[in-house]
Chain A
Amino acid sequence: MLIVDQLVKRYLSETGEAKGGISGISFDVKEGELFTLLGPSGCGKTTTLRSIAGLERPDDGVIRLGNDILFDGARELQVPMYQRDIGMVFQSYAIWPHMDVFDNVAYPLRFRRKTNLTRSDMERRVLRALEMVGLAEYRNRSATRLSGGQQQRLALARALVREPKLLLLDEPLSNLDALLREQMRSEIKRLQMEWGVTTIYVTHDQSEAMALSDRVAVLNNSALVQVGSPVEIYDRPTSAFVANFIGRTNLLRGKVARDIVAGREGEIQSPLGRFHCQFAAPARAGREITFAIRPENIALSPAGTVPSDQPNRITGTVQNRVFLGEIMEYTVVVPSEERLIVRLHPSACHTDGDLVDLVLKPGYLIAVSD
């Protein structure tokens, strides 16, 4: 449905240096998919979204929605934002204070280019949109008298009333408190699936991205770092940045023991011993590499219970533990003076100072690029 090809946008600071922007981002979004742009602030995700919306003019690249070209840098073509078949929800909701709920939602229907709607048609569509977001009984209320959550739902109704080809959401949950955020998260997912609209969602919150998306694109420093389903991103991060940004992870350093072919298991030599590790990309022997393992993929048991020939075994001492409700998080000091985080079911009871055996579960130890 949407194709973004080598999109470039340059911003210069007052001193003339490059600051922010995007440099050569490409991805495509399938019809009906909820696609998330995820990354820390300043990574370029909002710039990308606004470029697709037409609120920013990129410097280079191509943006295509269906059969329509929205932007082509080489041919200097740009479709103005008010002619794109796109609905957008802004971070501040941008609900017009001088209109009531009904008028806010009806507004986009007044600018249809191709067909003119009758009054009753318009009313029907507006009411349908309001019902879908649960605001039908507020139709005559002044827009200034809505709560944050209600404003957000109103913004959604307004964006969807035209049944656009693409829906853009710019950090829609960031202004809500924690409880409301979770409620609205499922609301948005439900609406998106019911309307079946192709959606691009921008956020810096990785748990939101994981929960909502069909696919996630992780951005950092103006570039696309990895694209994949939430499971792929989580289980198979390709870089230390992604491994760290999504969920918690432990990072260790070592040297590749033998030449590796892509997609195979290989061995790494590190100060803590030899480890069996998954490699997504080929690597030559002797290369320094970072490898990652998630805290929940480390088995922990009292020292001596694990046979010494068990692969991926490390001994260590429990330094600290934190009770988080559904898990107990242990900090374990290993012989190289590094600390590993291990997450276990709270029923396991080890205390500070215990000597323990750790096993980094094979298949979950992954080599990542730096």
Chain B
Amino acid sequence: MTDFPLDSPIPGIRRWRESVSLTVIVLALILLVLVLPPLFFLLAASVHTTNYDGSFDQFTLGYFSGLLSSRGFLTSLLNTGIYSIGSASIGIILGAALAIIVERTNAPARRLAFLGAIISMAIPHVLYVVAWLLLLGRTGPVTELWAMLTGGLRFNIYSIGGMILIEGMSFVPLNFLLMSSVLRATDAAFEEASMMSGAGPVATFWKITLRMGMPGVLALLLMSFIRAFESFEVPAIVGLAGGIEVLTTSIYQNARAVSPPNFGQAGAYSVFLLVFLSIMLYFYGRLSRHAHKYQSITGKGYRPRTLDLGRWRWVATGLMALILFLVIGLPLLIILFASLQPFYSKVNMASFARFTLQNYEKVIGPGFFRETLVNTLILGTAVASLVVPFTALCAWLAVRRRRGAWLLDQLATAPLVFPSIVMGVAFLNVFVNLPWGIYGTLFSVILASAVGYLPYGMRYAYSGVMQIHTDLEEASTAAGATQERTFAMIVMPLLATSMFSCWLFVFLLAVRAMSLPLLLVGPGSSLVAVSLFDLWQNGQVTELAAMGMIWVGLMTIVSIIFTVVARRYRMAVV
């Protein structure tokens, strides 16, 4: 047996135990620094009483022990539950109806529903809620019309029913898109086999289509429930005015509306929400995986056949148009109307005569509004530009199962359990307790938002990397390239379209957000969504409307670009 010399002539020979690469370590550290402090401060705040300046005082478990016995908490919880179930149901029913009409019938002009969904992505939630309050408020045109038709019946929008209605409507576009892609992905063979077995179209729909779609619908229902549970805009704008508190607004009230801020209470509520949402997300993951089992695997199937409605297809188109009008058209119209008024008033003949462009002039001209628009564009661009490359790298390392990369995946996805308002509160705690004065700056909002949108970037990047066959990278390393060169020259170019699409998606999400930046903005860092909220609180409806319309116009363009790119890349929206 010959003895081989240890100093081998081939450079690069090393022991094969894979050590954690430097890249993974660096990325993990960055993520730890970004994700852990908010969580830590939140936990700390929930078990300490706080001083006037926000620093921590004494350790106490009082906030938690007080939770279960506090009537406020239980009422909040009950309200949140009813509100979530109600709005999730409305969102699913209308969204599914649209999806079925568009994907499974031959209703003419049905593709217009996608245009509606595109426009809705451009509308900030705040604006949407305000629109509905204008329509259904005490002096709103719909309320008046309804009163006329029913002889005096008035609907109080500032009620839990009103909250359910508005939030439910806001879910419809996304639910429509998601159900659409589910319906599109089912293999037609399942239904064709049913019809070849003698079942007519109606029987096939009940016994096959619906049954097989049920897991997907349930997953969507759960997702809507989770979103409603953590939503803030509707409860803040509608609920508080009607004296209805949900968990998220309770947190906000404790952090902002009382003096001194009761971070302890806010923290306790937040921790409860975090735990609850984590459990819900776990079940959502399981349900979603179960739903995937029912999708077509071979990919060779025909597109599902459309139901020929005959003369009824115009009725279907009418129904679709009605839903779209209610969900998107009507709110936009009232905002347009309001933006052209010198001061807000009821919708009547006289008000039409008063149309003016002065609100638009105010917004476009130099000043506070213009600065706000610019800030928001900077925010969106910065957040997207930070999140996308970072998550692309993390996702690649995680998908290729590099040692330790699973931690990157977990850390980057962790922010998902934080409702935006809680994330805002948590970062508020962090920034206030830091020695540098970054609280209130645009930079601080960018940082907090970037952390908040890491999960979205990860999901997008994850599925993007999964689509790149390992063969392509292995061919690169077999040709002599290092891991870094392979990532730069093979993976990045292949991910490019996915990353561009993700960039636009994160951009759109970041600029719509209100609850996350709400507690973090300061004088120099005003943002569109937060300003719209403030304007509403101040009663400046007309300026709000003009700013909103301009913003919707700009974002529709971005949204259209996103849709075109995403369709090219053939990826579902979420």
Binding site for B on A (CB under 8 A): 53, 55, 80-83, 86-88, 90-94, 96-98, 107-108, 110-113, 144, 155, 158-159, 162, 175
Q: 22 A–B contact pairs at CB < 8 A?
A: A53-B196, A55-B195, A81-B192, A81-B196, A82-B198, A82-B200, A83-B198, A86-B196, A87-B197, A90-B189, A92-B187, A92-B296, A94-B193, A97-B212, A107-B194, A107-B199, A110-B199, A112-B198, A113-B198, A158-B197, A162-B198, A175-B298
Known: A92-B187, A98-B211. A55 touches B198 (CB 8 A): no
B197 touches A97 (CB 8 A): no
CB-contact partner of B294 in A88, A98, A111, under 8 A:
A98
Q: Is B293 an interface residue (CB 8 A)?
A: yes
Kindly state the separation between the CA atoms of A144 and B208 in the bound complex, as whole angstroms.
15
Binding site for A on B (CB under 8 A): 187, 189-190, 192-201, 203-204, 207-208, 211-212, 214, 293-294, 296, 298, 300-301
Q: Which residues of A contact B298 (CB under 8 A)?
A: 92, 175
CB closest chain-B residue, reference A174: B300
- Chain B binding site: helix, strand, loop or mixed by DSSP? helix
Q: Which residues of A contact B293 (CB under 8 A)?
A: 97, 144
A111 touches B198 (CB 8 A): yes
Q: Which residues of B contact A55 (CB under 8 A)?
A: 192, 195-196
Kindly state the separation between the CA atoms of A86 and B195 in the bound complex, as whole angstroms.
10
Known: A91-B300, A92-B187. A107 touches B197 (CB 8 A): yes
Known: A97-B293, A111-B203. A88 touches B198 (CB 8 A): no
A98 touches B212 (CB 8 A): yes
Known contacts A55-B195, A82-B195, A87-B197; 6 additional CB pairs below 8 A are A55-B192, A82-B197, A83-B198, A96-B190, A111-B203, A144-B293
Taking the closest CB of chain A, its distance from the CB of B193, in whole angstroms, is 4
Kindly state the separation between the CA atoms of A117 and B169 in the bound complex, as whole angstroms.
47
Taking the closest CB of chain B, its distance from the CB of A367, in whole angstroms, is 40
Q: Which residues of B contact A92 (CB under 8 A)?
A: 187, 189, 296, 298, 300-301
Taking the closest CB of chain B, its distance from the CB of A33, in whole angstroms, is 21
Q: Which residues of A contact B187 (CB under 8 A)?
A: 92, 94
Taking the closest CB of chain B, its distance from the CB of A102, in whole angstroms, is 14
CB closest chain-A residue, reference B190: A94
CB closest chain-B residue, reference A113: B198
Kindly state the separation between the CA atoms of A69 and B196 in the bound complex, as whole angstroms.
17
B193 touches A90 (CB 8 A): yes
Q: Which residues of A contact B211 (CB under 8 A)?
A: 98
Kindly state the separation between the CA atoms of A94 and B214 in the bound complex, as whole angstroms.
18
Kindly state the separation between the CA atoms of A90 and B198 in the bound complex, as whole angstroms.
15
Q: Which residues of B contact A91 (CB under 8 A)?
A: 189, 300
Taking the closest CB of chain A, its distance from the CB of B198, in whole angstroms, is 4
Kindly state the separation between the CA atoms of A111 and B313 in the bound complex, as whole angstroms.
27
Known: A158-B197, A162-B198. A96 touches B212 (CB 8 A): yes
Q: Which residues of B contact A112 (CB under 8 A)?
A: 198
A108 touches B198 (CB 8 A): yes
Kindly state the separation between the CA atoms of A175 and B189 in the bound complex, as whole angstroms.
15
CB closest chain-B residue, reference A81: B195
CB closest chain-A residue, reference B192: A55
Known: A92-B187, A92-B300, A98-B211. A111 touches B193 (CB 8 A): no
Kindly state the separation between the CA atoms of A50 and B198 in the bound complex, as whole angstroms.
15
Kindly state the separation between the CA atoms of A55 and B201 in the bound complex, as whole angstroms.
12
CB closest chain-A residue, reference B203: A111
Kindly state the separation between the CA atoms of A88 and B194 in the bound complex, as whole angstroms.
10
Taking the closest CB of chain B, its distance from the CB of A93, in whole angstroms, is 8
Kindly state the separation between the CA atoms of A205 and B189 in the bound complex, as whole angstroms.
22
Q: Which residues of A contact B197 (CB under 8 A)?
A: 82, 87, 107-108, 111, 158, 162
CB closest chain-B residue, reference A84: B196
CB-contact partner of B196 in A82, A97, A144, A175, under 8 A:
A82
Kindly state the separation between the CA atoms of A111 and B193 in the bound complex, as whole angstroms.
13
Q: Which residues of B contact A159 (CB under 8 A)?
A: 196
CB closest chain-A residue, reference B199: A111
Of A91, A94, A111, most B-chain CB atoms within 10 Å: A94
Q: Which residues of B contact A88 (CB under 8 A)?
A: 192-193, 196
Taking the closest CB of chain B, its distance from the CB of A26, in whole angstroms, is 24
B200 touches A90 (CB 8 A): no
CB closest chain-A residue, reference B214: A98
